Structure 1
Amino acid sequence: MHRFALVISTVAAFAPAPRISRPLSRVGAPVPVATARVQPTLAAKLPGAEFDGCVAVQGSWLAVYYGYMWLSASLPSDASENQKTWATRCFLNMHEQAPAFLAAFWTHAIFASPARAAQCGAVYVATRVLYGIQRFHLKGGMSVNAGLVSTVPGYVINLYLMTTAVARRCFGKVGFGASKWAPLAFFPVCVSLFLLSGVVNEKIKGQFEDANAKFRPVPPVPDTGC
């Protein structure tokens, strides 16, 4: 009996203490432990959060693109020529510039600065909306002032985005175009290139006039009654 009691006491001495999952209060009741659950936001879960602004611009651009396309495709059969011109040019102008904008926009976003690409892209989409408003106000027509406000800025933005990306990546000009005012410097560049293209066309027009001369119809010989 004495040996059995000794064995029991030895086992009890080396047995692990019972685990208490919650602290006990003075009266022995478990005290609830508050655990804060931090739910990560959706942006934190997805990779590439720095491109969120670019994705927003791309979505806005597509909305405007389809809006103009549907306006052009749903013209009533009795629409006036001015309305047809307005709806058609709003869509075609955006469609014609789509390859240049999308290429310049995403090239700059991926290889230069997604933040700057998002800023310029937002301005570009705004000018596309302004283009439609201006031509609506002009009853489908277009003016030089309207072009300077809504059309030329699109050329400036595309040229800035692509040129700066190429300069930084291909020529090592890391700080090229980093200033917030840098896009404005491309405005005279676009105007100069446009004027230069006019000079080139003026110089080469003779080549096409000579080529078209042989296709001109021969005037009929007047009937003299002979």
Structure 2
Amino acid sequence: MGTIGTALNELRSAQKSAKGVSLYSRFVNRPVGRYLAAGAYAVRLTPNQVTFISVAFSFTAVGGTALGAPSWTLGLLIWLGLAVGFAFDSADGQLARLRGGGSPAGEWLDHVVDCAKITALHLAVLIAFYRHPAHFGTTDHAWLLVPLGFQLAAVVTFFGGLLTEKLKPRPTPGAQAPTPSTLRAVALLPVDHGVFCVVFLLFGGGTVFRWAYTVLGAAAVLFLVAFLAKWFRELSEVRR
């Protein structure tokens, strides 16, 4: 426990900036990931091993979404798998910082896994809608466009945000991190992966899940438009 306690203390002072991070990620996912990272450090796991633990939880949930018979119990298990996988996704980066910094290969693996998870999860919902039209009220195949649109918005947002960070000038070493906005953190909740995971608790509710998923999909599209405008404006001001 002494090792875990020491790791937790070091991690509290080695957190990434909270700027642009939603309330859920700041106050739920990152703190849970901190405990997981400290535990992983105590048993001498590597960041890549923690990433694969995240993969196991996340993709088990994805498989359940695509192949399972919809029910309230399955929805609970899907949410649990996604939420735990998301927490381990936070833990791998924190563990890397605790061990003195990550590697390009580790960062590459983390981003590839994140992209695969985003793509596969919406594909799994599409499969569920197709396999169980009576349960989800998707006998009109036009509803199958919803997961495709949601997937497009999620993947472009992920890639656009990642590329923007790579193209923007690096902060001056030693510069004070900007103060995070609570209002912005609340506003970002609809496009936070942790909040998205919660919708699967409604998986047994059929049309209730379909509508909740659709509302989040519409929010993802609206946020994408806003993000693209913001990122393009910021990069237009960059002079090489």
Common topology (TM > 0.5): no
Q: Which has the higher contact order (CA 8 A, sep 6+)?
A: 2
User: Structure 2-normalised TM-score?
Assistant: 0.30
Structure with higher helix content: 2
Bigger Rg, which one: 1
User: Structure 1-normalised TM-score?
Assistant: 0.31
